[in-house]
Amino acid sequence: MPHNPNAHLRWRSYLSNLALIWFTIWLCRALPYYKGFLLAETQQVLVVLALAYTFGMLPFYVFAPDRMIKESKSAVLLRVLLAFLLQSAKLIWERKYALLFRQRKLQREEKTAILFVIVKFIYIPMMVNFCFLNLHKMDAALQTQISSGFFSFEYFDEITLTFAAGVIYFIDTFIFAFAYTIEAGFLGNKVKSVEPTLLGWVVTLACYPPLSYASGSLIALFPIYSGPSNLMVFVVGLLFFLSALVYLWSTIALGFKASNLTNRGIVSAGPYAFVRHPAYIMKALGWWVYAIPSIVYVLSPLRSIILIASLVSWSFIYYLRAYTEERHLLQDPDYVKYRKKVKYMFIPGVF
């Protein structure tokens, strides 16, 4: 059998992927945070995905043409890490401690690969977990109706909104989970760049567990109005539902390119044809309108002020997310053209 000079690249990429995938599975089962945060169904799905990659991708790395084989991002991460450790050990052995912080800078492709591995490690378990949490919300709303003896969904009451939100956010998180898990040229979602700044990472991760637990969110601590329906409650429920639908439309428009902290190609379809950050403004709008009945009917003036302050802080965090994304994406000429075409960030003709 003739020697294949690319065989080492095939196996290095495949085995590096396996090492990081199964290391992630181990962490999700060993770390106290993940053991408490991830549902049992999520843990099972992660193992199934790991097994599917282990056996499903093996024929690809064995039989695929050389032109289709690229160094995987996991292989880049492990290669860079190994080189850093060996060089550091050499410098320590030679007592050249001052040179430890002057080692070779990462190339742009290496930095992008390493950062996206981190993005996948953070978001794949989280988004799979969110899928199941939303399914549970839908099921709880249905069980509430069944326990009452008959189905009586009212227009935009609390149970109806809980069920609708479960459906909408299940679809949303499923799209994100799929997009994080599978990156391929034929899907058009190859990563071009990853957010390079600490601020961008901080404001994005602040919106997700575990940081969201300590990032100023008090919304969940306040009761939602569930008294008799009236015109204001109906309008508020309708606005919340419509904002959630537009939010979902934004995710569907992103499709396989859906991802946080990354540039996987510029999307100008759907709501992105009107504003550059439709998902953020719709999510913030949903929070504000959903809180109105509680502010009017339930909360004391002091608690209303605290809730409003929380909403303001969350809205500002999402503004910072949009700001850091703009700064990152402006490095892409395609986004510069898109920004000239779609001039407004949040509200057409206003802002």
Residue 40 placed within a domain: yes
Is 262 in a helix, a strand, or coil?
strand
Q: Could you tell me if 180 and 293 lie in one domain?
A: yes
Q: Which residues of 323-350 are buried (b: 16+ CB within 10 A; e: fewer)?
A: ebbeebbeebeebeebbeeeeebbeeee
Q: Look up the CATH number of the domain holding residue 191.
A: 1.20.120.1630
Final residue before a domain boundary, out of 104, 131, 165: 104
Q: Identify whether residues 313 and 189 lie together within a single domain.
A: yes
User: Comparing C-alpha atoms, which of 317, 312, 310, 320 is closest to residue 220?
Assistant: 310
100 lies in the same domain as 124: no
DSSP category for residue 255: G
Residue 169 falls within a domain, yes or no? yes
Is the pTM of the predicted complex or chain greater than 0.85? yes
- In this structure, the answer to whether residues 209 and 127 fall within a common structural domain is yes
Give domain status of residue 14, yes or no.
yes
Say whether both 141 and 234 belong to one domain. Answer: yes
State the number of CA atoms in the 13 A half-sphere of 316 facing the CB. Answer: 9
Q: Tokens 């600490």 sit at which residue? A: 198
| Per-residue pLDDT tens digits of the chain, which is 351 residues long | 444 556 788 999 999 999 999 999 999 999 999 999 999 999 999 999 999 999 999 999 999 888 888 899 999 999 999 988 898 898 889 888 777 777 778 888 999 999 999 999 999 999 999 999 999 999 988 888 777 655 555 556 677 788 888 999 999 999 999 999 999 888 999 999 999 999 999 999 999 988 876 544 445 555 566 666 677 778 888 898 999 999 999 999 999 999 999 999 999 999 999 999 999 999 999 889 888 888 887 778 888 888 888 888 889 999 999 999 999 999 999 999 999 999 999 999 888
Domain that includes residue 221, residue range: 117-351
Q: Are residues 44 and 176 in the same domain?
A: no
125 lies in the same domain as 97: no
187 and 75 both lie in a single domain:
no
Clarify whether residues 145 and 237 are in a common domain.
yes
The β-bridge partners of 194 are: 262
Q: How far is CA 63 from CA 185, 186, 235, in A?
A: 18, 18, 59
Q: Please indicate, yes or no, if residue 111 is contained in any of the structural domains.
A: no
Burial class of residue 143, CB neighbours in 10 A (0-12, 13-18, 19+) = exposed
Please tell me whether residues 93 and 208 are part of one structural domain: no
The verdict on residue 109 lying in a domain is no
* 92 and 127 assigned to the same domain: no
Whether the link from the prior residue into 210 is cis, omega within 30° of 0, is yes
Q: Are residues 52 and 76 in the same domain?
A: yes
Q: In the chain, how many domains are there?
A: 2
